[in-house]
Amino acid sequence: QFISKTAYAEDSTLDPKVWESLHISHMMEQASEFDIIHNHFDFLPLTYSRLIKTPMVTTIHGFSSKKIIPVYQKYNAGTSYVSISNSDRSSELDYIATVYNGIDSSKFTFNPAPKDYLLFFGRIHPDKGTWESIQIAKQANKKLIISGLIQDQAYFESKVKPYINNKDIVYVGNSGPKERDLLLGEARALLHPINFDEPFGLSVAEAMFCGTPVVAFKKGSMPELIKHAATGFLVNTVNEAVNSLDKIDSIDRKYCRSWALSNFSTEQMVDGYLKVYRQIVETGH
């Protein structure tokens, strides 16, 4: 079922808060028809949780601000929270489980014979470390391909665009699923020098599904996603990242895919949530 015939990101005439409220209220009015309600809609649905009898599980996909935590605290005793990584948990909340995001492995092709380029894949924004990736590639004397949505135009103009020359620093824009699979699979390594505590890095897991190791700054969930010296390298600085590239061919690309399948596949996510659902149904919480 749907409430709006189009997404508000595609129709500027729609007011997001209005249609979010309509969407949530439509769900809650049918609550009695379900054994469990699984909320991925942030904190607003929690405000209905004491008005219905159906148990609710909420996956917290990161915190946009610490200011929203009081809502989660208020309803913590009566609902169940799932984190998408252990690093993204708030010490002020109780959780029923951590369930990593699941990725459809069939959309990512294992490539045992990569080309000799590095890849930055993600939003072009200071948080994601596009400029740092350029510095790593420059110092390592390696070609860098950049693919991603320009989320911060000023940052792109000042920190990224001056380096683009279509030779050793190449920007290919946003990539669809087919282009993504090819870029990730043919890369010697994915660079992920983030400047924030990222709750979960989809491109990191996707790269490993292709067999591509990842060099990432040791922040947020990266120590959970990357097995240091086995599926990539966890580093703290640009210089450390450059030095790690000397050892990148020691990484077993088959093991990268095996690690990803064991931890970040759709099947693993489904199993994790089924365990949560069973626990809630059996215990009532």
pLDDT of amino acid 8: 78
Cα 108–112–114 angle (5° rounding)?
A: 90
Quick: pLDDT tens for 218-263. 999 999 999 999 999 999 999 999 999 999 999 999 999 999 999 9
- Indicate where the chain has its CATH 3.40.50.2000 domain(s): 16-102+266-283, 105-263
Q: Are 36 and 277 in contact (CB under 8 A)?
A: yes
Q: What is the mean pLDDT of residues 153-181?
A: 97
Q: Which amino acid is at 142?
A: K
Quick: pLDDT tens for 81-129. 999 999 999 999 999 999 999 999 999 999 999 999 999 999 999 999 9
Q: Are 98 and 89 in contact (CB under 8 A)?
A: yes
CATH number given to 16-102+266-283? 3.40.50.2000
Q: Where are the beta strands (DSSP E) in the chain?
A: 37-39, 56-60, 80-83, 97-98, 117-121, 143-147, 169-171, 189-192, 214-217, 232-235
Residue 285 has pLDDT above 90, yes or no: no
CATH number given to 105-263? 3.40.50.2000
Confidence of residue 171 (pLDDT cuts 50, 70, 90): very high
Count CB-CB contacts under 10 A for residue 113: 8
Quick: pLDDT tens for 1-45. 778 888 877 888 989 999 999 999 999 999 999 999 999 999 999
